[in-house]
Amino acid sequence: MNAADTHKPVVVLVRPQLGENIGKAARAMLNFGLTEMRLVEPRDGWPNPSAGPAAAGADVVLDRAQVFATTAEAVADCAHVYATTVRKRGVTKPVVTPEEASQEMAAAQGRSAILFGPERSGLETEDVALARAILTVPINPEFGSLNLAQAVILCAYEWSKHEQLVQPTQEELLPPAPQEELDGLIAHLETMLEPKGYFLPAARAEATRRTLRGVLTKPGWNHLEVRTLRGVLSSLGRGPKP
């Protein structure tokens, strides 16, 4: 494991119950660049055949997952441990959001870990006691139930803001077309509209031309879009095919 990977937080699932949930947590991790999962006493043992299908291709996380007998052993090499819980469970510790925790972990020296408790009951007091801070999110007080993968993805997403991840749907936008090309489009359209009487009455012609220019200038067409529109106008200006 390289230095870049060791700077990323470790995701520790404490006594997870269902293999499907472990797989979904792995998927959430890999979506946002986290690859190190540690399991503490998984109820159904490990490896779990139900985890793979639920991971939807995040096999690298499952293949590298390590199993520990206790939470203390799982975080023994971590200097900064955060316990995810909506309840303090009688332990007095700083409370931070995923955003605040990710900022602290990004700036910290040494390994960091985030603890996630069992699906039904969450972390025990003994688990929380190992953490330096409690990590929680503002949530509907009438329904504060997050499933395991949802909790993991909230934390992983905030961490990803400190990584150089690629926006998958972002396209490289072309710059707006030069003014000369836009003027050519406007002149082309005006030439076609003139014989149709569009700029009548003459007293309103200048105002109509300004409005038309404003409409065509507002979108910020790039040169390919301008070329396409010129092609449309040229096609409309030709007579019907014989």
The CA-atom distances, in angstroms, between 208 and each of 2, 180, 193 are 65, 21, 11
Number of domains in the chain: 2
Query: What is the C-alpha separation between 132 and 111, in angstroms, rounded?
Result: 13
Average pLDDT of the segment spanning 141-161: 89
Q: Is the pLDDT of residue 50 over 70?
A: yes
Residues with Cβ within 8 Å of residue 197, at least 6 apart in sequence: none
The answer as to whether 154 is a domain residue is: yes
CATH at residue 37: 3.40.1280.10
Q: Cα–Cα–Cα angle for 192, 198, 203, nearest 5°?
A: 130
Please tell me whether residues 91 and 131 are part of one structural domain. Answer: yes
The answer as to whether 153 is a domain residue is: yes
The CA-atom distances, in angstroms, between 42 and each of 11, 17, 20, 172, 211 are 14, 6, 12, 45, 68
Please tell me whether residues 147 and 183 are part of one structural domain. Answer: no
Please tell me whether residues 30 and 146 are part of one structural domain. Answer: yes
The answer as to whether 167 is a domain residue is: no
Of 85-99, 110-124, 147-161, which range is least confident? 85-99
Query: What is the C-alpha separation between 37 and 113, in angstroms, rounded?
Result: 10
Please tell me whether residues 155 and 195 are part of one structural domain. Answer: no
Please tell me whether residues 63 and 30 are part of one structural domain. Answer: yes
Q: What is the pLDDT of residues 111-140, one digit of tens each?
A: 999 999 998 888 999 999 999 999 998 888
Domain end, chosen from 114, 131, 160, is at 160
Range of the domain at 42: 3-160
Q: What is the pLDDT of residues 194-242, one digit of tens each?
A: 888 989 999 999 999 999 888 888 888 888 888 898 888 888 888 776 6
The CA-atom distances, in angstroms, between 57 and each of 17, 24, 95 are 21, 10, 34
The answer as to whether 116 is a domain residue is: yes
The answer as to whether 165 is a domain residue is: no
Task: Give 178-181's long-range contacts (Cβ < 8 A, gap of 24+).
Answer: 178/223, 181/223, 181/226, 181/227
Domain end, chosen from 104, 126, 160, is at 160
Please tell me whether residues 152 and 186 are part of one structural domain. Answer: no
Please tell me whether residues 189 and 146 are part of one structural domain. Answer: no
